[in-house]
């Protein structure tokens, strides 16, 4: 897995803080609700100035995710960050190994 980094300055639909009001968008196992919602909102259905959505991470407490509706909305340059390897054992336990890291200033 490669980490990619860029600076994003755009108009987003902000869903942060809605985990209890919109639980179907934050289900950590079943993505059907969030995928159906996104399909109804993404381009060409998004408001004219709406580039994507910003929301609380389901996997990382306190984390924030950004979803851009179109690849052309990703600003350049996109820089490569760390390189990770995900390894599952026979019991299904996950180990994440960081193979490389990149200093960003």
pLDDT per residue as tens digits for the range 25-82:
999 889 999 999 988 888 777 776 788 899 999 988 899 999 988 888 888 999 998 8
Residue 91 lies in a domain: no
Domain membership of residue 33 as a residue range:
2-79
pTM, full prediction: 0.71
Rg of the Cα atoms in the chain = 16
Q: Burial of 41 by CB count in 10 Å (0-12 exposed, 13-18 middle, 19+ buried)? A: middle
Confidence of residue 14 (pLDDT cuts 50, 70, 90): very high
Q: Is residue 61 part of a domain?
A: yes
Q: Is residue 88 part of a domain?
A: no
Give how many domains the chain has, as a whole number.
1
Pairing state of beta strands 79-88 and 2-5?
A: antiparallel
């Amino acid at each position: 897995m490669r980490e990619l980094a860029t600076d994003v300055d755009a108009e987003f639909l902000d869903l942060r803080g809605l985990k209890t009001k919109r639980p179907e968008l934050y289900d950590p196992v079943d993505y059907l609700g969030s995928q159906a919602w996104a399909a109804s909102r993404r381009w060409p259905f998004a408001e004219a100035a709406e580039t994507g959505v910003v929301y609380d991470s389901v996997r990382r407490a306190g984390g924030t995710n950004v979803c851009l509706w179109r690849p052309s909305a990703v600003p350049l340059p996109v820089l490569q960050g760390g390189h990770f390897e995900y390894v599952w054992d026979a019991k299904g336990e996950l180990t994440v190994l960081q193979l490389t890291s990149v200093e960003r200033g």
